[in-house]
Structure 1
Amino acid sequence: MTSHPRIRTSSHAALVFALALTAAAAHADTRAPAPPRAVAARPALGVEELNNIAVFKAASPSVVNITALSVGRDFFSMNVQQVPRGTGTGFVWDDKGHVVTNFHVIQEANAARVTLADQSSHEAQLVGVFPDRDLAVLKIDASKAKLPPIPVGTSRDLQVGQKVYAIGNPFGLDQTLTTGIVSALNREIESVTRRLIRGAVQTDAAINPGNSGGPLLDSAGRLIGVNTAIYSPSGASAGIGFAIPVDEVNRIVPRLIRDGRMVRPALGVTAGPPQMGPALNLPKGVPLVRVAPGGPAQRAGLQPFARGERGGIAAGDVITAVNDEPVADLDDMLTALERFQPGDKVTLSVWRAGKGRKQVVTLAESDD
């Protein structure tokens, strides 16, 4: 009989405890919520932060989003429509509506749409491309008030360690800023045509898919490069990005705007294969296997290597330098010549049968 009182006592205590909890809850509902914690005072922004903000505010109106389009046909209605192929970044070059981006951003598209910083969208016309340097110029019809040109700097005086900023539209996101430093200079990267882009700027500023074609800026907000490549197996930023140096951009873009293409200066020669030099024990340079009749090289007296009547090789010319700049192969020579225009005179260093000489040549316009 002693266990029953204990059971009744335990039940009674539980009931009292439950009623107390209910009363406390009802009382709590009538009380005001606890006030938020006081906000700690924040010190003034640092000089570096203020500069980051200033660079972004000044440059972002010049940065655009580019949507590459292709014409597709709806399977059910058979209506022709434009289908997005991908997105990239570009920037306003001048107030006439010229926009610069990477060639690979619009490479497989047959139309493009440019979205400005104010979110207005404009159909773009292709002005010109230079795949060897992964550059393209588009043009849109918009008011000058919407087209603030990006300030152009130089890349020849860049130094490893100086601060850089990248603005772009990674993964389709609008107007992002990443910062970093110049990690290295005079890098070589491969273009879509397998030609080397020399003098590339290496940076650790995050450059993700969608940043392609966007500006790389210095701490004064000036353009110093066009972001073009990510060195990463996955395609995402891995701390190594590359940009086409602005001195190259400033040399090529005006010519694309003027001519609609990169008009190459030409010598009128055909270079021998890479193995020809070692096989014939020739110096580093460009051995000639053909000289175009009536071309600049022939008028200057250059001669190609040829096979003689008895099967032997008749000595020809090897171009070893352009304006005293050594050229180790055809790509070196083409890069050196691209700094000039048709009609310019250049001095070639030429080797033939163990003897060197200088030869002045007037460049012609290439047919390609």
Structure 2
Amino acid sequence: MAVTTTTTTTAAYSLICSATLTPPRTPKLNNTTTTLFSSNKSLILFPQLNTLKRTNKFHFSITTKPFNKPFITFPCLDSFFILCTSLALSMSLFLIDIDAASAFAVTPARKLQSDELATVQLFQQNTPSVVYITNLAVRQDAFTLDVLEVPQGSGSGFVWDKDGHVVTNYHVIRNASDLRVTLADQSTFEARVVGFDQDKDVAVLRIDAPADKLRPLPVGVSADLLVGQKVYAIGNPFGLDHTLTTGVISGLRREISSAATGRPIQDVIQTDAAINPGNSGGPLLDSSGNLIGINTAIYSPSGASSGVGFSIPVDTVGGIVDQLVKFGKVTRPILGIKFAPDQSVEQLGVSGVLVLDAPANGPAGKAGLQPTKRDGYGRLILGDIITSVNGKKVTNGSDLYRILDQCKVGEQVMVEVLRGDQKEKIPVVLEPKADET
């Protein structure tokens, strides 16, 4: 007859109960219970044998308690029970299934923490907006004289709108004869340059891609950023496909120089998120997935990521992109001068910007600023030294650029200069660059 149990207390107990046992013939001591006595003063209670015949299975329990009354002993019962137990253990090795075994060793499923899930979701949602840009240049083979397009650089960018505008760094596309943009689904499109701003290292491209393939990034705000908040950089470093690096904002209001013109870029975001060659032009995102900057440069003597990266803030980028999309150019005011390096002025023991040249057809030349020149004997005569503009002190070229960035084309500014030993104030009407008219 088959012996089964409804509850188990130990693994061995379960295995024993899964075997097929035939209890030995036992004396009947009462009408309700068949009692078997062992020599160790423990009693084993079985249900009535009549019930066993009707149901073909029974439930039993094991209890131990002292027994001081005379009892019947069966010397062979212990040996028989041990033999049955051994047989049950042996048979269980073949009869037990995987589900039963797994009940004794359950490995919980690996779960991600909430911050990990947020990072994974951010990467999955924003990766379709990041593109890979290949810069191709025309080269002529020295032996065959064939004209070939040779990749001379690569970088990252991101989709700005559904019209196919893509934003990247200017130094990514500089000197390119042909540009190709690869989307996240590996589809590649020819790109044309809409416009660029060398001074701020921003460029806008356009591709003729279906609207359903374009996923613009949500534009955030960079004015309220705080040091210590988490940021995420997505790009294609070293040509690798879509790579995510994380970090925090490690500094604000930094200043770097444009890779193309050397003009300073103010209010730059500093981050410790790894930015390597190929990350240039890629987006810097906040924890909500909003665009807060364009990854543009790293500070590294060796050329590898040193944990100090810089991103142009989105508040600066937004205005530039809007002008480039609408007009194809950025109208930034200039004084129309060439000035000496800051070190040269420091050697003279003065503070300000020394005017080397002021073309007569430029704003400063029209206003009467004096350039540096030589007299009939070859002696150097210093030109005007600009010390302030609109009452704001000018100590070097970066100060002058910073002040002009806050002005508009056509605006009149008051330029204070040191001419010889005298200070003079000269009104100058600002004009756009000659190549941007």
Superposition TM-score tier, normalisation by shorter sequence: 0.7 to 0.9
Contact 2:171 2:260 in 1 (8 A): no
Task: Name the aligned partner's letter for residue 169 of structure 1.
Answer: N
Pick from 198, 203, 207 the counterpart of residue 271 of structure 2.
Answer: 203
What secondary structure sits across from 2:434 in the alignment?
Answer: coil
Deviations 1:109-162 (A, max 9, x none): 311111112322110112223333332221111223322322222333322111
Structure 2 distance, partners of 1:315, 1:86, is 43
Pick from 296, 319, 325 the counterpart of residue 363 of structure 2.
Answer: 296
Unaligned runs of 5+ in 1: 1-31
Structure 2 distance, partners of 1:238, 1:312, is 48
Q: What residue is the counterpart of 2:337 in the other structure?
A: 269
Q: What residue is the counterpart of 2:396 in the other structure?
A: 329
Q: What residue is the counterpart of 1:134 in the other structure?
A: 201
Structure 1 distance, partners of 2:256, 2:98, is 61
What secondary structure sits across from 2:199 in the alignment?
Answer: helix
Q: What residue is the counterpart of 1:173 in the other structure?
A: 240
Tell whether 2:411 aligns with 1:344: yes
Q: What residue is the counterpart of 2:159 in the other structure?
A: 92
Tell whether 2:314 aligns with 1:237: no
CA-based RMSD of the aligned residues comes to: 3.7
Contact 2:141 2:147 in 1 (8 A): yes
Structure 1 distance, partners of 2:378, 2:179, is 56
Structure 1 distance, partners of 2:413, 2:291, is 30
Task: Name the aligned partner's letter for residue 197 of structure 1.
Answer: I
Query: TM-score, normalising length from structure 2?
Result: 0.65
Structure 2 distance, partners of 1:82, 1:304, is 45
Map 1:280-291 onto structure 2 (within 5 A). Answer: 281-282=349-350, 284-291=351-358
Structure 2 distance, partners of 1:269, 1:278, is 19
Deviation at 1:352, TM superposition (A): 4.8
Structure 2 distance, partners of 1:355, 1:75, is 61
What secondary structure sits across from 2:254 in the alignment?
Answer: strand
Percent of aligned positions with the same letter in both sequences?
51
Pick from 60, 63, 67 the counterpart of residue 134 of structure 2.
Answer: 67
Deviation at 1:164, TM superposition (A): 0.4
Greater displacement, 267-276 / 107-116: 267-276
What secondary structure sits across from 1:133 in the alignment?
Answer: coil
Deviation at 1:355, TM superposition (A): 6.3
Task: Name the aligned partner's letter for residue 298 of structure 2.
Answer: I
Q: What residue is the counterpart of 1:260 in the other structure?
A: 328
Deviation at 1:351, TM superposition (A): 4.5
Task: Name the aligned partner's letter for residue 40 of structure 1.
Answer: P
Structure 1 distance, partners of 2:217, 2:131, is 11
Structure 2 distance, partners of 1:86, 1:275, is 34
Deviation at 1:327, TM superposition (A): 2.6
Task: Name the aligned partner's letter for residue 291 of structure 2.
Answer: L
Structure 2 distance, partners of 1:313, 1:205, is 50
What secondary structure sits across from 1:132 in the alignment?
Answer: coil
Structure 2 distance, partners of 1:99, 1:281, is 47
Task: Name the aligned partner's letter for residue 230 of structure 2.
Answer: K
What secondary structure sits across from 1:136 in the alignment?
Answer: strand
Deviation at 1:189, TM superposition (A): 3.1
- Structure 1 326/50 Cα, relative in aligned 2: closer, same or farther at 3 Å? farther
Task: Name the aligned partner's letter for residue 183 of structure 1.
Answer: S
Tell whether 2:274 aligns with 1:212: no
Deviation at 1:219, TM superposition (A): 1.6
Deviation at 1:78, TM superposition (A): 7.4
Task: Name the aligned partner's letter for residue 205 of structure 2.
Answer: L
Map 1:345-360 onto structure 2 (within 5 A). Answer: 345-352=412-419, 360=427
Unaligned runs of 5+ in 2: 1-96
- Structure 1 54/313 Cα, relative in aligned 2: closer, same or farther at 3 Å? same
Task: Name the aligned partner's letter for residue 164 of structure 2.
Answer: G
Structure 2 distance, partners of 1:75, 1:353, is 57
* Corresponding pairs, count: 339
What secondary structure sits across from 1:219 in the alignment?
Answer: coil
Task: Name the aligned partner's letter for residue 184 of structure 1.
Answer: G
- Structure 1 182/77 Cα, relative in aligned 2: closer, same or farther at 3 Å? same
Deviation at 1:91, TM superposition (A): 0.6
Structure 2 distance, partners of 1:359, 1:73, is 53
Greater relative contact order (CA < 8 Å, ≥ 6 in sequence): 1
Contact 2:414 2:428 in 1 (8 A): yes
Deviation at 1:105, TM superposition (A): 2.1
Pick from 223, 247, 268 the counterpart of residue 156 of structure 1.
Answer: 223
Deviations 1:211-234 (A, max 9, x none): 111001112222221112233344
